[in-house]
């Protein structure tokens, strides 16, 4: 798949997720098969640009190319300025967020709330595309609610504005993450525009990935929540799309190696105190997928305060798991 001048190694993209797709997680997912990984959404408000949390969201040193940064806002001028700022700081693709359903985002008419104002969507897209000389992509939902699905109209606006690729989550803003994603709208959009279309929503297995690609005709897939606790899902899907055979899941030893690497990177990236805190949610996702019965031990580990204690906990729990596996073999 191509986005502007960039040819991705495959058509599997880590979807931007607030508080999750930081540099350490993006790096792990790219290592395990994601063809592209998009940053957390970053505000276009220049007053917040130099806050430590914002700077960490924008950090991309050592990241595999192309580097994609997502921006959020409602003012065309501010969005254009944010795009220029991020290009100057290493972004190679600018992604515009018009898909986030969070109440605090929609309350200020940003994210998926913008879908209710098509003229403003057009002004923002045109302003950002004209502000930079790198590809600009867009992420949307199918509409504000089920009675006002306007993804096809937004897709035409995006194509005319010069958007390089369009990602669509198969739910409306009103749906949030409830119910099942629908892919009919994505199929309709794909049939009426020429720009690459990326399908998103409930892509939780290699088989589902193939089904969605075949049904929608999409050029690529965005995978978000399904990568939490199992970043190796990208290589599993890639293998299945190529061979129609399921790849064996990683062994406990490989999972241990991946998790230790990821958690160590979090400690280094955020510092000891913040790194340990942020690692807790990732450990919850990892071990819940490995064995939900581990959750009481994982919650107890939240009392640990230092990187060494947290890494020792991971080592101890895997020692128990591997010994149990040997006993039952």
Same domain, 38 and 100: yes
Same domain, 79 and 174: yes
Same domain, 258 and 205: no
Mention every residue, 6+ apart, whose C-beta is less than 8 A from residue 260.
311, 314, 315
153 strand-pairing partners: none
Same domain, 226 and 256: no
Q: Residue 166 is part of a domain; what is its CATH number?
A: 3.20.20.70
Same domain, 221 and 105: yes
Range of the domain at 314: 252-328
* Contact by Cβ (8 Å): 1, 8: yes
Tokens 């995006």 sit on residue = 158
Q: Is the pLDDT of residue 305 over 50?
A: yes
The residue out of 200, 218, 243 marking a domain boundary is: 243
Same domain, 112 and 219: yes
* Model pLDDT for residues 64-103, shown as the tens digit of each residue: 999 999 999 999 999 999 999 999 999 999 999 987 655 4
Q: What is the pTM of this model?
A: 0.92
* Model pLDDT for residues 234-255, shown as the tens digit of each residue: 999 999 999 999 999 999 999 9
Q: Nearest CA to 81 among 137, 128, 114?
A: 128
Mean pLDDT to the nearest integer, 304-318: 98
- Which pLDDT band holds residue 107 (cuts at 50, 70, 90)? very low
Same domain, 257 and 301: yes
pLDDT of residue 12: 98
Strands 6-7 and 2-3: antiparallel
Same domain, 98 and 32: yes
Calpha distance 313→319 (Å, rounded): 10
Mention every residue, 6+ apart, whose C-beta is less than 8 A from residue 216.
183, 186, 187, 190, 197, 199
* Model pLDDT for residues 187-212, shown as the tens digit of each residue: 999 999 999 999 999 999 999 999 99
Calpha distance 316→310 (Å, rounded): 10
* Contact by Cβ (8 Å): 117, 68: no
Same domain, 95 and 42: yes
The residue out of 199, 224, 243 marking a domain boundary is: 243
Cα dihedral: 100, 139, 218, 289 (round 10): -40
Q: Nearest CA to 279 among 312, 311, 245, 323?
A: 311
7 strand-pairing partners: 2
The residue out of 186, 217, 243 marking a domain boundary is: 243
Residues annotated as part of the active site:
100
Same domain, 157 and 34: yes
Calpha distance 23→181 (Å, rounded): 28
Tokens 């799309």 sit on residue = 241
What is the token pair recorded at 56?
């960490």
* Number of domains present in the structure of the chain: 2
Same domain, 229 and 106: yes
The percentage of the chain sitting over the pLDDT mark of 90, rounded to a whole number, equals: 78
Same domain, 101 and 230: yes
CB count in 10 Å sphere of residue 146: 12
């Amino acid at each position: 798949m191509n986005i502007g001048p960039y040819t991705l190694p495959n058509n599997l993209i880590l979807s931007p997720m607030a508080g999750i797709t930081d540099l350490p997680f993006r790096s792990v997912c790219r290592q395990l098969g994601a063809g592209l990984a998009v940053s957390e959404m970053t505000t276009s408000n220049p007053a917040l640009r130099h806050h430590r949390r914002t700077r960490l969201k924008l950090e991309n040193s050592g990241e595999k190319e192309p580097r994609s940064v997502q921006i959020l806002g409602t003012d065309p001028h501010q969005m254009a300025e944010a795009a220029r700022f991020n290009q100057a700081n290493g972004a190679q693709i600018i992604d515009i967020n018009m898909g986030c359903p969070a109440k605090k985002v929609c309350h200020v008419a940003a994210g998926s709330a913008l879908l209710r104002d098509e003229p403003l969507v057009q002004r923002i897209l045109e302003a950002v595309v004209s502000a930079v000389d790198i590809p600009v992509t867009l992420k949307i939902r199918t509409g504000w609610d089920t009675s006002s699905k306007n993804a096809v109209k937004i897709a035409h606006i995006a194509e005319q504005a010069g958007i390089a690729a369009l990602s669509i989550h198969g739910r409306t803003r009103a749906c949030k993450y409830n119910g099942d994603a629908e892919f009919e709208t994505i199929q309709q959009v794909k049939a009426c525009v020429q720009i690459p279309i990326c399908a998103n929503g409930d892509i939780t297995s290699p088989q589902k990935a193939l089904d969605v690609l075949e049904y929608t005709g999409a050029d690529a897939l965005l995978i978000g929540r399904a990568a939490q606790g199992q970043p190796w899902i990208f290589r599993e899907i890639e293998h299945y799309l190529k061979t129609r055979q399921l790849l064996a899941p990683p062994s406990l030893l490989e999972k241990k190696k991946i998790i230790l690497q990821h958690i160590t990177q979090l400690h280094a990236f955020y510092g000891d105190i913040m790194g340990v805190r942020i690692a807790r949610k990732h450990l919850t996702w990892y071990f819940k997928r490995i064995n939900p019965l581990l959750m009481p031990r994982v919650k107890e580990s939240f009392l640990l305060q230092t990187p060494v204690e947290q890494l020792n906990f991971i080592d101890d729990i895997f020692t128990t798991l591997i010994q149990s596996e040997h006993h039952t073999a």
